[in-house]
Structures are given as C-alpha cells and as structure tokens.
Amino acid sequence: MKFNRRHFLISLSSGLGLAFYSYQNLQQIPTTNVKEINSRITTNSTVSSSEIPISFAPAPKGMFAPKRGDVRLVVISDLNSSYGSTNYQTQVEKTIPLIPEWQPDLLLCAGDMIAGQKLSLTEENIQAMWDGFYRYIATPLRQAKLPFCITMGNHDASGYFKKSGDKYLYEKERRQARIYWRKHQNDLNISFLEADEFPFYYSFIHQEIFYLIWDASTFYLPTQQLEWVEKSLGSNQAQIAKMRIVMGHLPLYAVAVGRNKFGDVLTKTEKLQNLLEKYNIHLYISGHHHAYFPGYKGNLKLLYTGALGSGPRVLLNSNLPPRNTLTVLDINKEQNQIFYTTYDMKTMTVVNPQELPEKITGLNGFVLREPEVVLPS
C-alpha cells in the first residue's frame, strides 16, 4: 500500500500557518496541562482527532506531549562517545530513563551504540564497551519491558572488507557484536520472522508493521544481503502488513557537514531507492550523519536520526547549531501517515521543523523536507 503523499502534502500545506502558530505557542507547555492545551486548539487544526484516534498524549513530565498515534515509535541513534569509551555523555544517560514515559510501542536505535572502529582495540576493550552499553542503556530498557530493535553502526561492527575482499577489516568487532547480541537477543522483546544473520540483518512484524533491518554499517550492501532484502520485502508477510519500515545506519543521501563524501552514504543510491519503492516501503530510518532531518524523495520518506551522543553535526544548507535529538513517530496505520516530534535533549524543547532547510543537496542527490508539523495534544 503506497504512502499517499499528495493527500498528505495538501492536508498539511492547507493549514501549515495555523499549525505552526500552534506549535510556537504550545511547545513549552508541560504535559500536566493537557486540558489547557486542548482548549487552545482551534477547530481548523490541520490534523483532526480522527486521523490519530488514540486520545492520550504521554510524554515525560514538563515536556511537550504530542497526541499519540495508533502506533508510537521512539527513535534514537549514535549514542557513543570517544573511541573505546565504556560510558556515555550526560544527555544520553538522562534520556534513556525518560523513554518509557513516551509510552512507545517500539524503540529503534539506528546504530553506533558503542565506540569501536579502531584496529588497536582489543577483544577485552570491545567486550568492556558492550558491558557499558548493557549497564547504561540495555538494562533500564529491559527493566521497562520495551520492545527494542537495533541496527549495526560503523562503530559497532563495521562491515568494511579488507583490500583482499575476503575478510572483514574489523573482524574482532563483528565477532563481539554477534556474541553480545546473540546472548541478549530475547531481551529485545520482538517476534522475529528471519533472524539467521541477526544482529546484522533480520526482519520482524510488530503491531501489523513489517520491519526489515539491513547491515548498512559501511557504504555498500553485498550481493548476498541484497538478494535476501528483495526476497524478504517481497514476501507475503511484508506485503500484507499495514506498513513497511526499513532501518540501516548509513543513509541514502548526504545531509550533514562532514558527511557529504563517499563512504558516508550508501552507494548505488538510485538502485536502492528503486528497490525500496518497488516494495512500497513507507520509511527508511538512518543514523550516521548526526543531524536530524525529516526528508523524503519520490515516494520514500527518509528519517535522518540525529546523534544523541557525542558529535552532533550541522545540516548542509543550514546555519542552525548542532543538536542532540530524539524523535517520536506517531503512526496512523489505516491512512499510512507518520508524524514526527523531535526533541533537543539538552534543552528538552521541540525542534521547529520550519527552521530546517526545505531542500538539502549533497554529493549524490537532493532530499526534500517533509512539510510535517508538531501535533499539539
């Protein structure tokens, strides 16, 4: 079922000015004032309550509370600190305990959970980083019983091959990632469809949405994996699902300063986009560029997840300062609609989408900004 972009653009653009006014005036209102917020929304709001039918709006106390969709996802990415670090920056440690308060149906992490990709790191160093991840990130999430899915980033388990082409350059990190995640696979609390190559690539269905996680920890997808991707996306389970979402660490197109170069985006971009559109993928989620951007190209929505950890970056074609972000996705399954609310996790305020560039052009093409708005409760 294809995403109806024309309907989405028309419905949003017709009320964009009013919605933005509501956004400006309501973004700082605490979650405890939901009734007050409701009383201040006019009947001409862009999105009606029938489009997002669940009536409550959970969020951490004192933070803006968007109305919940049929399905709510929370997306984070790039949590790590400097090479070899076994702990996390303050905003990461403060954010993780807040995630359950948004009451997501699923938490997704778009990679770079630890700080590897350095040949001098020993097996013991790598194990210590995963132990740190378990202590600071995985344990509180497991205790909250949140369904959780992950993709491998270049700092977790880079899939880059040696020049000989027969072995992984970061084989130690690949091995340790497999050991850690095979041990904790059941902690993710999701029902796998295909998991033979977990944690590198796998698929599952959660609340009638099909998810495919591919190994975009480097700039190319090997032929064997692409064959699996096409078979999986074309499967009956994928095609009868209400929606289809793919996640990988590297994006299709460049959006950030310092990442606008070969090696920091996936190669054969047009081929990959055509593949995703062929199987009616609604959304591709990525990390790596350390900058939040709600984009689209053609019929494919592209969520660039900002870095929660160290090194947030500036968007191309923008003078905005870098920000550590977390994104909440509220999904209306019947109408194939996805709405973003993204928070600057240092200031605890909502990122204004209209401040972002309308178009970003990088080395391998351009991406347009979704005309999405923050939905007041």
Contact status, residue 297 vs residue 273, Cβ threshold 8 Å: yes
Question: How many CA within 13 A on the CB side of residue 300?
Answer: 27
Sign of CA dihedral 79, 117, 203, 372: positive
| Paired tokens of 239 | 């095609």
Which pLDDT does position 52 carry in this prediction?
Answer: 38
Task: Respond yes or no on whether the N-terminal peptide bond of residue 199 is cis (omega within 30° of 0).
Answer: yes
- Token pair in block for residue 109: 């992490």
Helix (H) or strand (E) holding 246: strand 243-247
Instruction: Tell me the average confidence (pLDDT) per consecutive run of 10 residues in the chain, 377 residues long.
Output: 38 34 33 35 30 67 94 98 96 97 97 97 98 97 96 97 86 98 97 98 98 98 97 98 98 98 97 98 98 97 98 96 97 90 97 94 96 49
The reported pLDDT for the residue numbered 201 is 98
Say whether domain 5-40+56-294+324-369 belongs to CATH 3.60.21. yes
pLDDT on residue 372: 57
Task: Compute, in degrees rounded to 10, the torsion defined by CA atoms 291, 12, 52, 98.
Answer: 20
Q: Kindly give the residue spans of alpha helices, DSSP state H, lying in the chain.
A: 5-13, 16-26, 34-39, 90-95, 123-133, 139-143, 154-157, 171-183, 223-233, 236-239, 269-278
Contact 109, 141 (CB under 8 A): no
- Angle (deg, nearest 10), helices 16-26 and 5-13: 70
The domain locations on the chain are 5-40+56-294+324-369
Helix axes 269-278, 223-233, angle to 10 degrees: 20
What's residue 371's pLDDT? 79
